[in-house]
């Protein structure tokens, strides 16, 4: 067993990092309070684009929270030994990122003070209503799972709980995708491919978040990730990025195939200003092509920072995709009268030019602050640092299985 690694992040560097995380979180909280007392007119959101930047960040965090649990699942459910020591950190990030996502989405509500009503009055035909069960059970299952992974006495029970958590996270992300998939009103949504697309996205974004935080942890501890494990994780990220691209391709191709949707696709992919720019520049180039090159071109692959850079770009690409998907989907006008030119005092037939305001930006980024702060405190208090016994893994042949 390699015990040379210290388990915890010590000293002033911890307080400095925690201070930064706390500051970003508090700014987000303050911004939410300001929005709540002034009303949403202080945001860039309006009655056409009513889900703005906070929803982009919150949905990213919620989807990635589900996907980040994959690392633990690969260890427990699929029995890959090299992933087992990463289970606790993966479970921890799942909890903190979901908490952060909910922090953003709850504080953006028009009536954030009515959280209790959301939990006591549930309409079961609503996908949001299901979330009142999906999220708390996810917290509970993953909490239990992390406990079992970290407590020697309970480890024997980790497999069934791990399987349950794995299934539950698939259900949860199916729910997140269905928020949009079931919406018949809009061109951008109402597609059966959205739920599976969100699941694949959760794989990629979650793993990217995991790799990013893991690499930070190794840096704090002055440790280095064993090359063969690094290669495996990077390879997996590459596969997920490619799979996401495939699903996005199918999603757009299906829309283009339906003649009535081609105007919308023309808008979102070509003529819609910021949206095609973010789609091609942000999602396709920065979020897909560059990370794939970093991960698979041999000369780049060898550099230790390639995986981290690819992970960071995957997250940037994910946020760009969601911005185009959520905001672009609303900015494009509803097509109530096909073939007609439409004008009204309520901007029917107009493409909305949503621009996020400062409070929204602070609240959105505050979500990342909350996730970071919670994770940081947890890794300081408990031994979440992955400890690999390379010799043993190698001897059993598990390093490359």
Partner 1 sequence: MSQPQDKSRRNFVGTAAVAGAGLGTLALAPGLHLIQVSEANTPSQGASGKVRWGMLIDTTKCASGCDACVKACNTENGINETLKDARQGSQWIRKIDLKNPKTGQEHSLPMLCQHCAHPPCVDVCPTGASMKRADGIVLVDRHTCIGCRYCMLACPYKARSLVHLPLTNQNPEVPRGQGCVESCTFCVQRVDKGLKPACVESCPEGAMLFGDLNDPASEIAQRIANEKTTQVRGDLKLNLGVRYQGI
Size of the site for partner 1 (CB under 8 A): 51
Within positions 49 to 68, which residues make up the interface with partner 1, using CB under 8 A? 50-51
Q: Which of 139, 147, 157, 182 binds partner 1 (CB under 8 A)?
A: 182
Q: In terms of CB distance, is 304 or 342 closer to partner 1?
A: 342
Determine contact, residues 315/205, Cβ cutoff 8 Å: yes
SS3 66: helix
Please report whether residue 358 would count as binding partner 1 according to CB under 8 A: no
Q: Which of 41, 152, 222, 259 binds partner 1 (CB under 8 A)?
A: 41
CB of 345 to partner 1, least distance (A): 5
Q: In terms of CB distance, is 44 or 307 closer to partner 1?
A: 44
Please report whether residue 109 would count as binding partner 1 according to CB under 8 A: yes
Number of other residues whose CB lies within 10 A of the CB of residue 389: 15
CB of 332 to partner 1, least distance (A): 12
Query: Which are the contacts of 302, defined by CB distance < 8 A and separation ≥ 6?
Result: none
Query: Which are the contacts of 48, defined by CB distance < 8 A and separation ≥ 6?
Result: 330, 331, 333, 347, 350, 352
Q: Which of 388, 395, 400 is nearest to 89 (CA)?
A: 388
Q: In terms of CB distance, is 287 or 367 closer to partner 1?
A: 367
Q: Which of 132, 170, 256, 351 binds partner 1 (CB under 8 A)?
A: 132
Please report whether residue 347 would count as binding partner 1 according to CB under 8 A: yes
CA end-to-end distance (rounded Å), the chain? 20
Please report whether residue 380 would count as binding partner 1 according to CB under 8 A: no
Please report whether residue 262 would count as binding partner 1 according to CB under 8 A: no
CB of 176 to partner 1, least distance (A): 13
Please report whether residue 139 would count as binding partner 1 according to CB under 8 A: no
Q: Which of 328, 271, 347, 339 is nearest to 56 (CA)?
A: 328
Please report whether residue 357 would count as binding partner 1 according to CB under 8 A: no
Please report whether residue 339 would count as binding partner 1 according to CB under 8 A: yes
Q: In terms of CB distance, is 91 or 333 closer to partner 1?
A: 333
Q: CA angle, corner 124, sides to 119 and 127, nearest 5?
A: 85
Please report whether residue 337 would count as binding partner 1 according to CB under 8 A: yes
Q: Which of 194, 343, 185 is nearest to 264 (CA)?
A: 185
- Concatenating the DSSP letter of every residue in 326-337 gives IIIHHHSPP-SS
Question: What span, in angstroms and rounded, lies between the C-alpha atoms of 321 and 279?
Answer: 6
- Structure tokens of 372? 């970071």
Please report whether residue 129 would count as binding partner 1 according to CB under 8 A: yes
CB of 110 to partner 1, least distance (A): 2
- Structure tokens of 152? 């020697």
Question: What span, in angstroms and rounded, lies between the C-alpha atoms of 201 and 248?
Answer: 10
Angle between helices 11-38 and 87-107 (to 10 degrees): 30
Determine contact, residues 179/127, Cβ cutoff 8 Å: yes
Q: In terms of CB distance, is 3 or 123 closer to partner 1?
A: 123
Please report whether residue 136 would count as binding partner 1 according to CB under 8 A: no
Question: What span, in angstroms and rounded, lies between the C-alpha atoms of 104 and 51?
Answer: 12
Please report whether residue 15 would count as binding partner 1 according to CB under 8 A: no
SS3 176: helix
Within positions 161 to 180, which residues make up the interface with partner 1, using CB under 8 A? 179
397: phi > 0 → left, psi -120 to 50 → alpha, else beta; which? left
CB of 261 to partner 1, least distance (A): 13
Please report whether residue 39 would count as binding partner 1 according to CB under 8 A: yes
Q: Which of 12, 340, 381, 397 binds partner 1 (CB under 8 A)?
A: 340
Determine contact, residues 278/331, Cβ cutoff 8 Å: no
Q: Which of 158, 288, 330, 364 binds partner 1 (CB under 8 A)?
A: 330
CB of 220 to partner 1, least distance (A): 38
CB of 92 to partner 1, least distance (A): 28
Number of other residues whose CB lies within 10 A of the CB of residue 196: 17
Interacting residues with partner 1 (CB under 8 A): 36, 38-41, 45-48, 50-51, 109-112, 114-115, 117-118, 121-123, 125-129, 131-132, 179, 182-186, 189, 330, 334, 336-337, 339-348, 352
């Amino acid at each position: 067993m390699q015990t040379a690694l210290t388990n915890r992040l010590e000293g002033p560097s911890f307080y400095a990092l925690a201070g930064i995380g706390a500051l970003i979180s508090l700014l987000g909280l303050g911004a939410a309070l300001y929005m709540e007392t002034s009303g949403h007119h202080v945001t860039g959101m309006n009655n056409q684009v009513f889900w703005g930047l906070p929803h982009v960040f919150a949905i990213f965090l919620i989807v990635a929270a589900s996907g980040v649990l994959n690392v633990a699942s690969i260890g427990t459910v699929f029995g890959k030994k090299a992933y087992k020591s990463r289970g606790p950190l993966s479970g921890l990030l799942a909890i903190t990122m979901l908490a952060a996502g909910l922090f953003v989405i709850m504080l953006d509500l028009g009536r954030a003070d009515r959280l209790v009503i959301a939990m006591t009055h549930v309409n079961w035909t609503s996908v949001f209503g299901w979330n009142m069960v999906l999220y708390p059970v996810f917290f509970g299952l993953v909490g239990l799972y992390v406990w079992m992974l970290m407590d020697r006495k309970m480890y024997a029970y980790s497999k069934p709980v791990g399987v349950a958590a794995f299934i539950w996270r698939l259900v949860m992300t199916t729910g997140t995708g269905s928020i949009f998939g079931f919406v018949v009103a809009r061109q951008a949504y109402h597609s059966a491919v959205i739920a599976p697309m969100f699941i694949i996205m959760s794989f990629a974004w979650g793993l990217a978040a995991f790799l990013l935080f893991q690499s930070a942890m190794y840096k704090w501890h002055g440790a280095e990730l064993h090359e063969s494990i690094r290669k495996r994780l990077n390879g997996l990220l590459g596969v997920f990025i490619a799979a996401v691209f495939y699903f996005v391709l199918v999603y757009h191709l299906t829309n283009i195939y339906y003649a009535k949707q081609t105007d919308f696709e023309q808008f979102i992919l070509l003529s819609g200003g910021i949206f095609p720019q973010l789609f091609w520049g942000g999602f396709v180039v920065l979020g897909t092509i560059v990370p794939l090159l970093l991960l698979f071109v041999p000369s780049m692959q060898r550099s230790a920072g390639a995986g981290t850079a690819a992970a960071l770009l995957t997250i940037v690409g994910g946020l760009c995709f969601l911005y185009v998907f959520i905001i672009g989907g609303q900015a494009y006008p509803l097509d109530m009268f096909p073939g007609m030119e439409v004008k009204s005092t309520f901007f029917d037939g107009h493409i909305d030019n949503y621009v996020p305001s400062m409070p929204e930006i602070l609240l959105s980024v505050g979500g990342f602050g909350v996730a970071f702060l919670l994770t940081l405190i947890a890794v300081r208090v408990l031994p979440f640092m992955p400890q690999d016994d390379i010799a043993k893994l190698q001897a059993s042949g598990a390093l490359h299985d």
